[in-house]
Amino acid sequence: MTLSFSPDDIRKQSVITESKSPVSEAEMQQAVRTLLLGMGEDPDREGLRDTPKRVVKALKFLTSGYHQSLDELLNGAVFHEDTNEMVLVRDIDLFSSCEHHILPILGRAHVAYIPNGKVIGLSKIARICEMYARRLQVQERLTQQIADALQGLLKPQGVAVVVEATHMCMVMRGVQKPGSWTVTSSMQGVFADDARTRQEFMDLIRLSNDGFMSVSFQSDRPLSVKKFQQFLDYQLPDIVFRAKGVLYFAESPKRHLFQLSGKRFTINDSEWTTTPKNQLVLIGRKLDTLFLLQSLNNCLTQ
């Protein structure tokens, strides 16, 4: 199942109904029972007797976003309005599930747009976030889908979405880094093109983080290699003590994905202009999310 929609696709999304599932509720419950047995548990003991039923119910709720569409959700709540002021909804609680482990992703979304004749009810912005969150997700796609949905619905002058989240699959298992936050952003239109508008948005959402973190950054505009080198040479040493990173160039040479998280790094210049995937892993102790996002945005060519 593909979960990414281009803005043009969004209006075409039909209402998906519950009946689409080829698997019965009983079969799902049986699968949970099998999982319990696999864990060495006794699914028939008193405390677990109703667990398969409860797990299936919970999973269906947590993925109920598959059965919603934007049309249904909005119910016509798009209005004509002549305003050029930024509309910002910050600190929207997000509860999602990662598609790799089906474990929670907990975080917040900050969503802004600058209208171009059309506005949407503020509560609907939260509902759009919720619809995409209630699916199996990766944080980058969730961020992009929220931005694309607003872009498609309102054709605004620009859309900005920042999602900051912590992933239970990282906190409870694997690298076990409590307090690690991942920040992803999608900037479109004036937010991508105009540094002052972007700055205003960033100031308004004032993110900060003391712990380890990772930052993902994507853009459709190419990165200026010269500016990026300057950023690494002059700005990064102030906030990060050492770096080890590889920057790869992605599917398209214009798409960038940066990830920053908490270990030492050194930059290897020779690797990052030639590799096929655009990925930079930088690791530091105390990083300022906003500063990094701004700096990376400033490295884009105009």
108 is a site residue for Zn ion (CB under 5 A): no
Stretch that binds Zn ion, among 53-61, 92-100, 152-160, 270-278 (CB under 5 A): 92-100
Nearest distance in Å: CB 100, Zn ion: 4
173 is a site residue for Zn ion (CB under 5 A): no
Residue 169 known to be catalytic: yes
Q: Which of 67, 98, 157, 164 is the catalytic position?
A: 98
Q: Which of 167, 218, 279, 299 is the catalytic position?
A: 167
Nearest distance in Å: CB 173, Zn ion: 9
Which of 90, 101, 242, 263 binds Zn ion (CB under 5 A)? It is 101
57 is a site residue for Zn ion (CB under 5 A): no
Nearest distance in Å: CB 167, Zn ion: 6
Q: Which of 109, 98, 103 is nearest to 135 (CA)?
A: 98
Which of 169, 195, 250, 281 binds Zn ion (CB under 5 A)? It is 169
Q: Which of 13, 30, 101, 230 is the catalytic position?
A: 101
- Residues in touch with Zn ion (CB under 5 A): 98, 100-101, 169
The residues carrying an active-site annotation are 98-101, 139, 167, 169
